[in-house]
Amino acid sequence: MKVNEELSILFWLKREKADKEGRVPIYVRITVNGGRDGFSSGKKIHPDAWDEKAATAGTSCPDHQAINSYITRTKAELEKCFNVLEATCDRVTATKIKEAYKPKPVVVEQTLGGAFKIHNEEFADKVTKKKASPGTLARYERLERYCMAFLRTKYKLSDIGLDELHMGIATNFYHHLLMQDIGENASMKYVKTLKQVVDRAINEGWVKFNPIKGFKCKYEDPERQCLDMHELVKMYRKKIEIERLAEIRDVYVFCCFTGYAYETCYHLEPKNVFKGLDGKAWVTKDRQKTGSEECVPLMPIALEIIKKYKNHSYCVEHNKLLPVNSNYRYNVYLKELADICGIKKHLTTHTARHTFATTVTLENDVPLETVGKMLGHKDIRSTQIYAKITKRKISNNMKELEGKLFTPTGKLRKAS
């Protein structure tokens, strides 16, 4: 597009840089009196959706409105830069216009706050691309607020240089978190994550070593509650007249028989159910937290619950497999459900996952590796936290041992 006798602005496709999906980057070319310069717009489009003559995105492109808005805005801003430079400079060039439009990036200070900035912005990009969990990002941002509040309270500082960090800061930060009524395990995890943030700054070349790396993070193994089988059966068979609680019960029982966490269950769609190699129905979904696949065969009760809500108005309207409420309501309703069912345990969105891992699978001798695969764990150590030894598990193992050592009448078998 020729703006005037001296300035021309062109948006064009750099086809040799096509990505795996076939999209190519849109570049901007500035021409002033025959001299050229340019830059990447940061936008991509499939060539078939690009109007070469108009240099705009066609309506077949899902992002055509955003791309065309960018093109219109960029043209106007580049022309504005040209006019300002023409009024203030003896000679205007394409490079000067580009530099005026794209000023040099602000250098992030090599401080703890700066380290948080690069760490959290990178993670936010992953969340945008659905390669990381929004919940984890919220935890990183919360840690940043805790750290800045700690520096203000303890040292009267708004920030601190990375070269000023020392072991005492990690120790004092841990104590500060405990005094804010944050649990010991949570406080330890925050300090552990803080070490990761500093490690990211090391990769950036800001500091040579992590001065708080030596802080030892120790965790208390918490008591992880889960339902016993008789409690799970009692809940499943309980006749509930209140519709919202009946739905919550069904969703919770479904999670007990699949091991799905709330976030995964909330995003399940009918397309996530498929026929496996064994000819039976399976359900699959990637965990937002880890990105690992959770692929689970559907046992009769779980399959029954899916069929029950196939034509449910909420599920049909929102393309959901089950009528899952918001996390807050889900947890609130679970407290009511526990009371109705006469269960004294504190039910949460995660106790169902623990019930699947312990009561449904491990107590019935499903191998730990198989359970870990169904839970979407990348590391067997993550599965081992569920593998607590219950009385039922001890009973099952001892019955098996007794059968090997003794006859049904109680006599010791002969050694083979």
Burial of 179 from C-beta contacts in 10 A (0-12 / 13-18 / 19+): exposed
Q: Does the pLDDT of residue 289 top 90, yes or no? A: no
SS3 state at 326:
coil
If you search the block for the tokens 């009511």, which residue do you land on?
Answer: 336
SS3 state at 296:
strand
Nearest-angstrom CA–CA distance, 265 and 409: 49
167-188 average pLDDT score = 92
235 or 377: which carries more pLDDT confidence?
235
SS3 state at 24:
strand
Nearest-angstrom CA–CA distance, 274 and 286: 14
20-45 average pLDDT score = 91
278-299 average pLDDT score = 75
47-56, 175-184, 339-348, 349-358: the lowest-pLDDT one: 349-358
71-75, 168-172, 222-226, 369-373: the lowest-pLDDT one: 222-226
Nearest-angstrom CA–CA distance, 400 and 260: 31
pLDDT of residue 388: 60
pLDDT of residue 152: 93
Burial of 239 from C-beta contacts in 10 A (0-12 / 13-18 / 19+): exposed
161-178 average pLDDT score = 93
Task: Please name every residue paired with 283 in a beta bridge, in sequence order, or none if there are none.
Answer: 273, 296
What's the pLDDT band for 233 if we cut at 50, 70, 90? Answer: very high
86-95 average pLDDT score = 89
Q: Does the pLDDT of residue 5 top 80, yes or no? A: no
Burial of 1 from C-beta contacts in 10 A (0-12 / 13-18 / 19+): exposed
DSSP state of 110: S
Distances (CA, A) of 415 to 399, 400, 407: 19, 17, 12
- Does residue 44 contact residue 24 with C-beta atoms inside 8 Å? yes
Nearest-angstrom CA–CA distance, 369 and 361: 11
Mean pLDDT, the chain, whole residue set: 86
pLDDT of residue 373: 80
58-68 average pLDDT score = 88
User: If we measure between CA atoms, which residue out of 310, 228, 300, 237 comes closest to residue 269?
Assistant: 310
If you search the block for the tokens 């070490």, which residue do you land on?
Answer: 195
Q: Does the pLDDT of residue 72 top 60, yes or no? A: yes
- Does residue 56 contact residue 71 with C-beta atoms inside 8 Å? yes
Q: Which residues contact 326 (CB under 8 A, 6 or more apart)?
A: none
What pTM was computed for the model?
A: 0.55
Q: Does the pLDDT of residue 256 top 90, yes or no? A: yes
pLDDT of residue 105: 56
User: Helical H runs in 57-166?
Assistant: 64-88, 94-101, 112-128, 134-155
Q: Does the pLDDT of residue 333 top 80, yes or no? A: yes
Q: Does the pLDDT of residue 130 top 80, yes or no? A: no
Q: Which residue pairs from 239-242 have beta carbons closer than 8 angstroms and sit at least 24 positions apart in sequence? A: 240/337, 240/340
Q: Does the pLDDT of residue 302 top 90, yes or no? A: yes
- Does residue 44 contact residue 23 with C-beta atoms inside 8 Å? yes
Q: Which two tokens stand for residue 87?
A: 């009024």
pLDDT of residue 3: 60
Q: What are phi and psi of 23, to 5 degrees?
A: -80, 145
The residue type at 74: T
Task: Please name every residue paired with 51 in a beta bridge, in sequence order, or none if there are none.
Answer: 56
Q: Does the pLDDT of residue 372 top 70, yes or no? A: yes
